[in-house]
Amino acid sequence: MLKPDVSIIIPVFNQQEYTLSCLKALFEQQQQGTAAFEIIVIDNGSTDGTAATLSELARRSECLKVISPQVNLGYSRANNLAAQSARGDYLVLLNNDTIPQSDWLAALLRVLNSGKNGIVAPKLLYPETGCINHFGYVHRQSVGGFYPLYHNLPADFPGVQRTREFQAVLGACMLIAKHIFLEVGMLGDFGLEDIDLCLKVRELGLKVLCTPQARVLHHGSVTLRKSPPGSIEAKTADEFLRRWTGRFMADDDLAYYLQDGIRVWTASAGVLEMKPAPVWHPHSHSI
């Protein structure tokens, strides 16, 4: 295989059916020639037949590389290990419970290279409902820090119909240049590591964006929800807070609501009250 433009990194721990759905979508896009990419799957010690399945798939597909450390390295260390052997100039960090949609990668590349941009994430949608899984994090300390903007609203909600800059985006799917990923020290091995990566990239003066031009279905936290207790090492946000508290995290959520015609104020117990409520035809949803 010729040198790929992009290396797509997918850490897995069991949940074989989700991994296969994700890979099926990627293989189909590879055959269509929409982008030149390699796929690096890191098997974090799966016990459900994933290892044998991946071995067979890698034998049949030259674009698939499998790394098997035999232990569960966790999300950050698995991605970091794969990134160091990646051949592409760009990296996509991708969860195995995703299904990338048509032209998603070309759209991400187009947006990343359209300005001084460091990370671009797609519009993530729940496959069961079609509603918004993620379209950027906003921040307000009084309600607990970072939280997802317009979570669970319909995919055609006006606030997610244009490319927007954020302080951080979800690590379930993000595109970053490999040299930038390495320059900022890759992913930290602690909680909120995806947000930490975004803040480090912004420290370089680069933008972090979400774009509706790329769409990816995302079930959400499948591995964590379906794994036995104790099989995945719990991470705390202590190190993240030590690094970032008091610097570089601004309360910015009200600015987004203001731009979208929504008046917001903080009620008792740190609850955000909004008028008009951010709902959209044909269904009503709350934040």
Contact between residue 12 and residue 55 where contact means Cβ atoms under 8 Å apart: no
Strand partners, 9: 40, 93
In a domain, 286, yes or no: no
In a domain, 78, yes or no: yes
- Point out the residues of the chain with pLDDT beneath 50: 280-287
Tell me the torsion sign for CA atoms 221, 87, 103, 33: negative
In a domain, 287, yes or no: no
Burial class (CB in 10 A: 0-12, 13-18, 19+), 238: exposed
- Which three-class secondary structure state does DSSP give residue 38? strand
In a domain, 283, yes or no: no
The structure's pTM equals 0.90
What residue has token string 């991605």?
79
**What pLDDT, on the 0 to 100 scale, is given for residue 226?**
52
**What pLDDT, on the 0 to 100 scale, is given for residue 283?**
37
Measured between alpha carbons, how far is 194 from 250 in angstroms, rounded to an integer? 17
In a domain, 242, yes or no: yes
**What pLDDT, on the 0 to 100 scale, is given for residue 189?**
94
**What pLDDT, on the 0 to 100 scale, is given for residue 230?**
57
**What pLDDT, on the 0 to 100 scale, is given for residue 285?**
32
The residues near 128 (Cβ < 8 Å, ≥ 6 apart) are 219
Question: What is the average pLDDT value for the chain, to the nearest integer?
Answer: 88
**What pLDDT, on the 0 to 100 scale, is given for residue 15?**
87
**What pLDDT, on the 0 to 100 scale, is given for residue 276?**
59
**What pLDDT, on the 0 to 100 scale, is given for residue 282?**
37
In a domain, 284, yes or no: no
Tokens of 99: 């299904």
For the chain, where are the E strands, in sequence order? 6-12, 37-43, 64-67, 90-94, 98-100, 117-125, 132-134, 137-140, 145-148, 164-166, 173-177, 207-218, 263-266, 272-275
DSSP 93-143: EE-TTEEEPTTHHHHHHHHHTTTTEEEEEEEEE-TTT-BEEES-EEEEGGG
Residue 98 sits in which domain range? 6-275
For position 119, which CATH number holds?
3.90.550.10
The C-alpha R_g of the chain, in whole angstroms, comes to 19
Angle at 99 between CA 184 and CA 240, to 5 degrees: 30
Q: What domain count does the chain have? A: 1
In a domain, 184, yes or no: yes
Measured between alpha carbons, how far is 26 from 74 in angstroms, rounded to an integer? 23
Measured between alpha carbons, how far is 13 from 72 in angstroms, rounded to an integer? 7
In a domain, 204, yes or no: yes
